[in-house]
Each structure stands twice: as C-alpha cells, then as structure tokens.
C-alpha cells in the first residue's frame, strides 16, 4: 500500500542551526501539508502546498519556515534558524483526487532543539 | 472558520466496556469529519470519515461514529473496549477535499484490565 515516508525520524540540533525535514508523499497525490505536534499537545497545521506554491499557511509558519518541492517527488520543510520552541514532532501529509479530504500521514520527524 | 472541541482530555474505560469519545465541530459549510488515532510514538492513522453520505460511519477496529447535524456532533463509539484501543484519538474537520484539516485537542483513552 502506498505510504508517505519521512526522514529523518529523529534529529537533534543546536539552537540557531538550520534543519531540513524531508517527505516523500504518495506518488499520485497533488496536495501536500506539514503539521506539527509539540509533545502532549494538539496537532497544528503549518502549511499546505499545491501546484508548486503555498496554498495556505498558519501563524506559526513565519519567515523562519519554508517549503519546497525540489524534484517532483520530495517535499521539504526548512527551518532556517531553530529555536527551542521548535522542538516537536513534524508530520507530513498528502492527499489526492477522490480521497474526500482524508490526509495520509507519514510517521513523523521528531526535532529536538538544544 | 472551522473548529473542533473534544470533551474530556482523558477517558478511562474497563476492558469490554463501551467506549464513547465526544466531538463537536463548528463549520460554516457542510463539513468533512474524521477520527484519527495515534498510538504512542507513531503517526496518525485514519479510523473513519464522514463525507455527507451515510450519517452512521463504520471504521476500522470496530469503531463507528454518527454525524448529527442538529447537535453539530460526531461522537466516536465502540461497543467493547480492548486493551489495544489505548491511544490518543483526534477528531478533525475540513470544509473541502483539499483544504487544511483542523484537529481537535485530542482525547487520551486508557483501557483498564
């Protein structure tokens, strides 16, 4: 069964460093999303992406964040200068035609900022 | 704007007892509604979804949910809890097939032997 894959599963970084989280969405999907979940808290929307541009972004998704689909298969989330409060689980999701809004999630990338 | 509330951040039931997890939504348009489950240190797995067809929706692992427009509710039930049902459950809403999905705060389900 097709699935969304994310790498790395866990990344530890120093405050102020740049981080890139990678996702490979399901191959025939066209809509891509990033969510984050701070430990023990709710799942929060960050950004949606379609047709090579951002469709919508939340207040969390400030200038420190960017997304890219560099090669037609990967979908990346970059955090330019990490802060302690960026420590969270980051989930990539995708969906396509006929899925009635259902998002297919990856297993997540846990980011720890020290 | 859409929003979701889940009554009870933590629910405990005995093994074999009825599971009832509550979800109420707010939406300006007919919504798509979902229940996702998250097991410890794992991603989000879809349990079931409502997409304006039948109001009673059956999902995986014996769960079902009923859409009640008059009550703006989408409560999740399972007749008999199993130990393996212990997890975090999220109710979620979206207004179109491709719009962002908004998640509720989650309910942690514990199953007591």
Per-residue pLDDT of chain B (113 residues; tens, 9 = 90+): 789 999 999 999 999 999 999 999 998 778 899 999 999 888 899 999 998 778 899 999 999 999 999 999 999 999 999 999 999 999 999 988 888 999 999 999 999 99
CB B15 within 8 A of CB B109: no
Both tokens of B89, joined, read: 């459950």
Report chain A's C-alpha Rg in angstroms: 13
d(CA B13, CA A19): 41
Q: Do A43 and B44 touch (CB under 8 A)?
A: yes
d(CA B45, CA B90): 10
pLDDT confidence of residue A73: 87
Angstroms from A31 CA to nearest CA on chain B:
7
User: Residues A39-47: what's their mean pLDDT?
Assistant: 93
- Nearest CB among A101, A102, A105 relative to B96 is that of A101
Count, residues in chain A: 114
- Nearest CB among A33, A91, A99 relative to B97 is that of A99
pLDDT band, very low/low/confident/very high, at A41 (cuts 50, 70, 90): confident
Question: Is pLDDT at A21 greater than 90 in this prediction?
Answer: yes
Question: Is pLDDT at A72 greater than 90 in this prediction?
Answer: no
Question: Is pLDDT at A83 greater than 90 in this prediction?
Answer: yes
Q: Do B90 and A45 touch (CB under 8 A)?
A: no
Q: What is the 3-state secondary structure (H, E, C) of B2-59?
A: CEEECCCCEEEEECCCCEEECCEEECCCCCEEEEEEECCCCCEEEEEEECCCCCEEEC
The phi and psi torsions of B54 (rounded to 5 degrees) equal -70, 140
Cis peptide before A21 (omega within 30 of 0): no
CB B9 within 8 A of CB B107: yes
pLDDT confidence of residue A85: 96
d(CA A36, CA A65): 12
pLDDT confidence of residue B52: 77
d(CA B18, CA B69): 23
Residue of A nearest to B5 (CA): A42
Question: Which chain B residues are closer than 8 Å to A107 by Cβ?
Answer: 42-43
How many CB atoms neighbour CB A90 within 10 A?
Answer: 22
Both tokens of B40, joined, read: 């410890």
């Amino acid at each position: 069964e097709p699935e969304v894959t994310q790498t790395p599963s866990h990344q530890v970084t120093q405050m102020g460093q740049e981080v890139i989280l990678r996702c490979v969405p399901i191959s025939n999907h066209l809509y891509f999303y990033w969510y984050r979940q701070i430990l023990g808290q709710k799942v929060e929307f960050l950004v949606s992406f379609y047709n090579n541009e951002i469709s919508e972004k939340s207040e969390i998704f400030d200038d420190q964040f960017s997304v890219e689909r560099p090669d037609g298969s990967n979908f990346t989330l970059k955090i330019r200068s990490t802060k302690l409060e960026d420590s969270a689980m980051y989930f990539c999701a995708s969906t396509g035609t006929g899925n009635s809004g259902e998002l297919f999630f990856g297993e997540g990338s846990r980011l720890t900022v020290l | 704007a859409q929003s979701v509330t889940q009554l009870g951040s933590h629910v405990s039931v005995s093994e074999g007892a009825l599971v009832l997890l509550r979800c109420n939504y707010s939406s300006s348009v007919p919504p798509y509604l979902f229940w996702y489950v998250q097991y410890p240190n794992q991603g989000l797995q879809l349990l079931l979804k409502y997409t304006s067809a039948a109001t009673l929706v059956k999902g995986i692992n014996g769960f079902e949910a009923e859409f009640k427009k008059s009550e703006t509710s989408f409560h999740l039930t399972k007749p008999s809890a199993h130990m393996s049902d212990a997890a975090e459950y999220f109710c979620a809403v979206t207004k179109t097939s491709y719009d962002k999905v908004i998640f509720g705060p989650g309910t942690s389900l514990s199953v007591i032997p």
